[in-house]
Chain A
Amino acid sequence: MVKIRATHEKDTREMRAIYGEALMKAAEKHKNLVAINCDLCSSMGLKSFVKAFPDRAINVGIQEANGCSMAGGMAAAGMLPFFNTFSVFASRRVYDQIFMCAAYPKLNVKIVGGDAGVTATSNGGTHMPFEDIGILRVMPGITIMEPSDGVMLDDLVEQMAETEGLQYLRFTRKQTEKIYEEGSHFEIGKAVVVREGKDATIITCGILVTEALKAAETLAAEGLDVRVVDMFTIKPIDAACILESVKATGALVVAENHQLIGGLASAVAEVLADNAIGVPMEKIGIRDEFGEVGDQAYLMERFQLTAPYIVEAVKKAVSKK
Chain B
Amino acid sequence: MDFEKLTRLSADIRIWTIRTIAEAGFGHIGGSASIADVLAVLYGGMMKIDPENPKWEERDWFVLSKGHCAPALYAALALRGFFPMDWLKTLNKGGTNLPSHADRLRVPGVDMSTGSLGQGISAAVGIALANRMQGRNSWTYTIVGDGECNEGQVWEACEVATHQALDHLIVFVDWNKKQLDGTLEQISNPVDLAGKFAAFGFACETVPGYDVKAIWEAIERAKAAPGKPHCIVLDTIKGLGVKLAEVEDFNHYLTFDVAKGETSVEEIERRLAEGTYPGGDFKW
> Which of A's residues lie within 8 Å of B, judged by CB?
32, 34, 55-56, 58, 60-61, 63, 65-79, 81, 96-97, 99-101, 104-106
Residues on A with C-beta less than 8 A from B233 are none
Report which residue of A55, A96, A104 has the largest number of chain B beta carbons within 10 angstroms of its beta carbon.
A104
A182 to B160, CA, bound (A): 40
Q: Interface range on chain B: under 10, 10 to 19, 20 to 34, or 35 or more?
A: 20 to 34
> Chain B residue with minimal CB distance to A55?
B133
- Given B61, B118, B128, B160, which contacts A60 in the complex, CB threshold below 8 Å? B160
Residues on B with C-beta less than 8 A from A77 are 61, 126-127, 130-131, 134
A100 to B102, CA, bound (A): 11
Do A70 and B159 touch across chains, with their CB atoms under 8 A apart?
no
Q: B250 to chain A: closest CB distance in Å? A: 26
Residues on B with C-beta less than 8 A from A97 are 119, 122
Residues on A with C-beta less than 8 A from B225 are none
B115 in contact (CB, < 8 A)? yes
Do A66 and B122 touch across chains, with their CB atoms under 8 A apart?
yes
Q: A183 to chain B: closest CB distance in Å? A: 33
**What 0/1 pattern do residues 98 to 133 of B give for CB contact below 8 A with A?**
000001110000011111101100111111111101
Chain B 146-202 interface residues, beta-carbon cutoff 8 Å to A: 152-153, 156-157, 159-160, 163
A105 to B115, CA, bound (A): 11
A67 to B161, CA, bound (A): 11
> Chain A residue with minimal CB distance to B131?
A77
Residues on A with C-beta less than 8 A from B125 are 66, 70, 73
B57 in contact (CB, < 8 A)? yes
Do B104 and A101 touch across chains, with their CB atoms under 8 A apart?
no
A105 to B101, CA, bound (A): 12
Residues on B with C-beta less than 8 A from A32 are 134
| Given contact pairs A71-B126, A72-B112, A100-B115, A66 touches B104 in the complex (Cβ within 8 A) | no
Q: List 21 A-B contacts (CB under 8 A).
A: A32-B134, A55-B133, A61-B163, A66-B157, A69-B153, A70-B160, A72-B122, A73-B63, A73-B125, A73-B126, A73-B130, A74-B126, A76-B130, A77-B134, A78-B130, A100-B114, A100-B116, A101-B113, A101-B122, A104-B113, A106-B105
Do B133 and A73 touch across chains, with their CB atoms under 8 A apart?
no
Additional A-B contacts beyond A63-B153, A105-B113 (5; CB < 8 A): A32-B134, A65-B119, A74-B126, A78-B57, A105-B103
Give the dominant DSSP class at A's interface: helix
Do A73 and B112 touch across chains, with their CB atoms under 8 A apart?
yes
Do B130 and A79 touch across chains, with their CB atoms under 8 A apart?
yes
| Given contact pairs A66-B160, A76-B104, A96 touches B116 in the complex (Cβ within 8 A) | yes
Q: A100 to chain B: closest CB distance in Å? A: 5
> Chain B residue with minimal CB distance to A36?
B126
Residues on A with C-beta less than 8 A from B61 are 77
> Chain A residue with minimal CB distance to B63?
A73
Do A101 and B119 touch across chains, with their CB atoms under 8 A apart?
yes
Q: B192 to chain A: closest CB distance in Å? A: 22
Report which residue of A68, A72, A76, A104 has the largest number of chain B beta carbons within 10 angstroms of its beta carbon.
A76
Residues on B with C-beta less than 8 A from A55 are 133
- Given B116, B126, B156, which contacts A63 in the complex, CB threshold below 8 Å? B156
Do A70 and B123 touch across chains, with their CB atoms under 8 A apart?
yes
**What 0/1 pattern do residues 40 to 66 of B give for CB contact below 8 A with A?**
000000000000000001000101000
- Given B105, B123, B128, which contacts A72 in the complex, CB threshold below 8 Å? B123
> Chain A residue with minimal CB distance to B158?
A66
| Given contact pairs A76-B111, A79-B134, A97-B119, A65 touches B156 in the complex (Cβ within 8 A) | yes
Residues on A with C-beta less than 8 A from B118 are 65
Do A69 and B159 touch across chains, with their CB atoms under 8 A apart?
no
